[in-house]
């Protein structure tokens, strides 16, 4: 009988041998297939190439704090004749500011850095040997924003509210100010009520989709969210960040940079630009 064969000792050994042979065959079939490595895209940078420029020219590297408008800014810089004389392309990257290392400043890894003077000075006390101010922004306003009625700085109002912040611990607008505002009002949130995002754009999208109930931001948020929102002012004198450029750079590109980077003033900060020693560019 066939069933006796599989229940006998010899049958058991034959079955074990057969299963081993099948497993080896399957493994060999996988080994014989050549799988191409998966190239993961870098979601933390955007780049473009210049036209009619020398390929051995370096790339212009800009460290921003957000992905906001980086595609438009990079494309406009890549279309600039002044930039094309010295660079083969533009790369704009963004990451939490606390990830910028002293070595990157000392090595001048970036041609342009979005930061605050106190942050750079704390990182490298002699940073001004390597970088100088290109443009600064005046103070701006920051609010608590809700898609419902005007927020209230009361414990009962914040109960069960989901609050979006950034992981960037140096972000005044999206990390420090909201936490300070809650602390000053003696409002306590459970851990699950604070939802952290790596990038401001993701924070804004989560707010627009209703994945978080409250976030902080400036006047620009009205344009980012396609829905009625209401705000409660936190501060009207928040010090905006500045743009610092490598001291060893072609002066001819200053006007092009000021013109293109003024986009931050127009669409993001809604404040006044102060340029450093570039009055000949007629920046306002």
Digit-coded pLDDT (tens) for 145-201: 999 999 999 999 999 999 999 998 888 899 999 999 999 999 999 999 999 998 888
pLDDT at 68 over 50: yes
> Which residue's entry shows tokens 């950034």?
166
pLDDT at 25 over 60: no
**What's the mean pLDDT in 103-124?**
94
CA distances, 65 to each of 70, 113, 170, 267 (Å): 10, 9, 10, 15
And the tokens for 281?
């560019």
Q: What is the mean pLDDT of the chain?
A: 82
Q: What is the pTM of this model?
A: 0.70
Sign for the pseudo-dihedral over CA of 144, 228, 71, 73: negative
Residue 3 is predicted with a pLDDT of 46
Buried b (16+ CB within 10 A) or exposed e, 6-32: eeeeeeeeeeeeeeeeeeeeeeeeeee
Residue 111 is predicted with a pLDDT of 98
Could you give the 3-state DSSP secondary structure of residue 247? Answer: coil
Residue 21 is predicted with a pLDDT of 59
Reported as a single tens digit per residue, the pLDDT across 31-64 is: 333 333 333 334 588 999 998 777 789 999 999 9
Task: Name the pLDDT band for 275 (thresholds 50, 70, 90).
Answer: low
Looking from the CA of 109 toward its CB, the CA atoms found within 13 Å total 10
Q: What are phi and psi of 13, to 5 degrees?
A: -65, -40
Task: Name the pLDDT band for 223 (thresholds 50, 70, 90).
Answer: confident
Report the distance separating Cα 20 and Cα 157, nearest Å: 64
């Amino acid at each position: 009988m066939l069933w006796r064969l599989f229940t006998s000792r010899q049958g058991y050994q034959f079955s074990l041998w057969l299963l081993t042979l099948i497993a080896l065959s399957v493994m060999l079939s996988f080994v014989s297939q050549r799988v191409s490595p998966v190239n993961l895209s870098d979601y933390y940078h955007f780049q473009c190439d210049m036209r009619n420029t020398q390929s051995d020219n370096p790339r212009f590297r800009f460290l921003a704090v957000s992905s906001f408008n980086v595609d438009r800014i990079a494309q406009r810089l890549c279309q600039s004749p002044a930039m094309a004389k010295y660079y083969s392309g533009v790369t704009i990257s963004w990451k939490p500011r606390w990830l910028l290392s002293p070595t990157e400043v000392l090595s001048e890894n970036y041609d342009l850095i979005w930061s605050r003077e106190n942050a750079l000075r704390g990182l490298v006390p002699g940073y001004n040997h390597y970088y100088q101010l290109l443009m600064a922004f005046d103070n701006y306003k920051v609010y608590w924003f809700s898609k419902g009625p005007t927020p209230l700085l009361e414990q009962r109002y914040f109960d069960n509210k989901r609050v979006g912040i950034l992981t960037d611990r140096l972000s005044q607008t999206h990390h420090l100010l909201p936490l300070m505002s809650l602390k000053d009002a003696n409002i306590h949130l459970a851990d699950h009520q604070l939802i952290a995002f790596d990038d401001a754009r993701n924070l804004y999208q989560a707010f627009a989709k209703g994945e978080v109930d409250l976030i902080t931001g400036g006047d620009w948020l009205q344009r980012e969210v396609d829905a009625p929102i209401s705000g409660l002012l936190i501060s009207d004198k928040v010090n905006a960040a500045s743009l610092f450029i490598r001291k060893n750079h072609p002066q001819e590109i200053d006007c092009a940079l000021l013109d293109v980077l003024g986009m931050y003033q127009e669409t993001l900060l809604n404040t006044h630009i102060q340029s450093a020693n570039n009055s000949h560019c007629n920046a306002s």
